[in-house]
Chains A and B, each alone.
Chain A
Amino acid sequence: MSMTIATPLAAAEKPRRRARKNRQWQGLLYIAPAIILVTIFFVIPVLFTVWMSFHNWPLLGQPSWIGLDNYIRMFSDTRFAAALSFTAYYTVIATIAIFALAFPLALFVQNERRGVSVYRTIFFLPVVVGLATASLLWVWLANVDSGLFSPILRAFGVTGRSANLLATFNNAFPTIIVMVVWKIVGFTMIILLTGLQSIPSDLIEAARIDGASRWQRFRFLTLPLMRRTLALALILSVTGSVLAFDQFYIMTSGGPQNRMISVVYYIFNQSFVSFQLGYGSALSIVLLGILVALSVVQLWLLRVGDDK
């Protein structure tokens, strides 16, 4: 390229480049508040947690540097292993249960017809109750003496005498799952509903004209077009389940016989019952790593990056 052509071109380019640069600075300015907030409330605390995790950090007294000892200790910590395996079990069961109900509900309330907004409200209502409040409510509902479930189960002959639903794992775990589904399903339903409603109706119409059956329309149109929404709902649900704490703390105190100690519950116990903040920090960092890995795997499985 010769100079004679390049010079006028470059002269025209300059102000444009400057404008672009200006716009970039403007953009940065717009997201600055978010960056500052994320830095103060996420990045710095995470870095500080990493720093703490390399220490023996008691609540009272002076912290001392112990390098990777906290991380090494995890490998032989059977209670941490038990908490991980319980959390995985809970996450799988809760996620399946929530999706198994949320998808049909979303399809049910998808189309505008008489009373549909009433249904949407009813299904969504438990979402606005805090998880801790909901757990307390269910502790009362499941109470053997003054609760609601025990007499109902007895009346239907499911149990012989008054049943203490929270006394054994085999009763308490399903009770908590039902509570969580009741509490969360409306939220997942709303997310799925927005996905369903964003599918252009002419596509479905065209498929119908081409002779696609109801199942074929669902399998080859709705599901693929819902991929991004499904990924969002799945990641939110899995993340929520992996971080579960309130329901176990409030409804059964991690019992019966410690069989419902989730990872977060274990971190809480290490930090604020055993006062080992260093070990608690190390466990938190590992949990953060697990969550990031799980989210990456889910995005990859649903091939969210692929569709253009």
Chain B
Amino acid sequence: MIRKLLVATSLASLCLVSNAMAQETINMWVRTGIGTAFTSLADAYNASHENQIALTEVPFAELVQKYATAIAGGQAPDALSLDLIYTPAFAAAGQLQDLTEWAKGLEYFDSLSPSHVALGTYEDKVYGLPLLVETSVLAWNKGLYEQAGLDPEKAPANWDEVEANAEAIRALGGDNYGFYFSGGSCGGCMIFTFTPLVWASGVDILSEDGQTATLDTPQMRAAVDKYRSMVEKDLVPEGSATDNGVNFLSFTNGKIGHQSLGAFAIGTLVNDYPDIDFGVTLIPGIEGGTSSFAGGDNIVVTKDTPRLAAVQEFIEFAYSPEGQKILAQNGSLPTRSDIAAQTLEGLDPRLQVAVDAIGVAKTPYTLLFNDLINSANGPWATFTNAAIYGDDVDGAFATAQSEMQSIIDNAP
């Protein structure tokens, strides 16, 4: 519908504008359900610019196949909004436009979301730039805190406090549970919400160059133990064990004490669930500190597109104070830290926590993200389920560690 509207508006403006020859229409693909943050930005751009942008929504699972086919058939879009974790794989395949010179010429280049830029960079060249930014944070339900006799304004500072408070909330009985996570082999959910526990302590599941699996660390074991303990104490709903991400927003049912969520969920909670009084804080590390996962989308440009200048104009609009404001109003965090305060002025103050998370956030850099992390049958997804819900924790560590390494070693 949105696409049709956009195409219609683009066509209408094409006819109206007298110097139609100079005007260009950028054809851009986005994943289905990209949300109003981006579509509002595109609408605002079309309303204020001679060049126009037409969006085509492509189902997330088919995006890579369709893009590959389109390239082969010479029908590729000018630009693509791509989950940032896939940028390295696309850049490596040699299909993306090198944006290095222009990007580094932007005066605010250094204040763009560092994780996005890092993932958009392949062999020292910039192929992708931040478009939508979100981070993971820990939310707690203030209403349940009050019912359980806890201080609703005091955020849990570490995982022992989370567990103790979760027990108090579970003690309320009924369907009230202390904690929730999507534990049914949802690799994406768990890398987003669970790895910050170990990142905060300075360890990671992959070495910096992405060539060695470093899953089995004392910190990861401690993090697994903490989740196991909460499961064993019945603080987590039974459905978590098979939740492949469908119920990722379980917190919105108002009966979950704590859950690590994305910044977009803050927007959803504020707009759609005004009855739930909640607080957000940075995700504590298992041994202290805080961390977060920086997720979202990069914008990438198809190699040798004739409309490069128009795409660059659109990106600059997205980074303008006006563009940043439109994105933030719709739940996407500011991509520019230098004007973040100005961007967030007058918006829900809890968004600020998600913005602060950008400073401590990480994103694993690997060409094998799908194989290693995201796939429901990949080693990471399987590991999180087996280690937290299975009977053999040591076995889960050993299997995942060796399978990750074998996937890395056998990569073409």
**Interface of A toward B, CB cutoff 8 Å:** 56, 58-61, 143-145, 161-164, 166-167, 252-258, 261, 265, 269, 272-276
Binds A, one of B100-108, B319-327, B335-343, B381-389: B381-389
Instruction: Tell me the complex Cα distance, A137–B284, Å.
Output: 39
B242 in contact with A252 (CB, 8 Å): yes
Does the CB pair A58–B412 fall under 8 Å? Answer: yes
CA distance A143 to B389 in the complex (A): 17
Contacts of B237 in A (CB 8 A): 144-145
Chain B contacts of A61 at CB under 8 A? 93-95
Question: B93 and A273: CB pair below 8 A?
Answer: no
Contact A258 B64 (CB under 8 A): no
Chain A residues contacting B390 (CB-CB under 8 Å) are 256-257
Name the residue on B nearest A164 (C-beta).
B238
Give chain B residues whose Cβ lies under 8 Å from the Cβ of A58: 93, 412
State which size class the interface on B falls in.
20 to 34
Chain A to chain B contacts (Cβ below 8 Å), 24 pairs: A58-B412, A59-B68, A60-B71, A60-B90, A60-B95, A144-B238, A145-B238, A167-B238, A167-B241, A167-B242, A252-B242, A253-B244, A253-B377, A255-B184, A255-B377, A256-B185, A256-B386, A257-B382, A257-B385, A257-B386, A258-B377, A261-B377, A273-B370, A276-B412
In the complex, B216 has a CB within 8 A of chain A: no
Interface of chain B: mostly helix, strand, loop or mixed:
helix
B interface residue numbers (CB < 8 A to A): 64-65, 67-68, 71, 89-90, 93-95, 184-185, 237-239, 241-242, 244, 370-371, 375-378, 382, 385-386, 389-390, 396, 412
**How far is it, in angstroms, between the C-alpha of A61 and the C-alpha of B91 when the chains are bound?**
11
Q: Which residues of A contact B385 (CB under 8 A)?
A: 255-257
Residues of the A chain whose Cβ atoms lie less than 8 Å from the Cβ of B376: 253-255
Contact with A255, one of B93, B185, B396 (Cβ below 8 angstroms): B185
A198 CB to nearest chain B CB (Å): 45
Q: A276's closest neighbor in chain B, by CB?
A: B412
Cβ contact within 8 Å between B239 and A145 = yes
Residue of B nearest to A275 (CB): B64
CA distance A103 to B241 in the complex (A): 38
Query: Are the C-beta atoms of A166 and B242 separated by less than 8 Å?
Result: yes
* Contact for B185 among A56, A253, A274, CB less than 8 A: A253
Inter-chain contact B184/A253, CB cutoff 8 Å: yes
Instruction: Assess whether A59 is in contact with B239, with CB atoms less than 8 Å apart.
Output: no
Contact B238 A272 (CB under 8 A): no
Rounded to whole angstroms, the CA-CA distance of A162 and B240 in the bound complex is 13
Q: A164-B239, A164-B242, A257-B386 are in contact. List 13 more A-B contacts (CB 8 A).
A: A58-B412, A60-B71, A60-B95, A61-B94, A144-B239, A252-B242, A253-B184, A255-B377, A256-B242, A256-B389, A257-B382, A274-B370, A276-B412
* Residues in A neighbouring B68, C-beta threshold 8 A: 59-60
Q: Which residues of B contact A59 (CB under 8 A)?
A: 64-65, 68
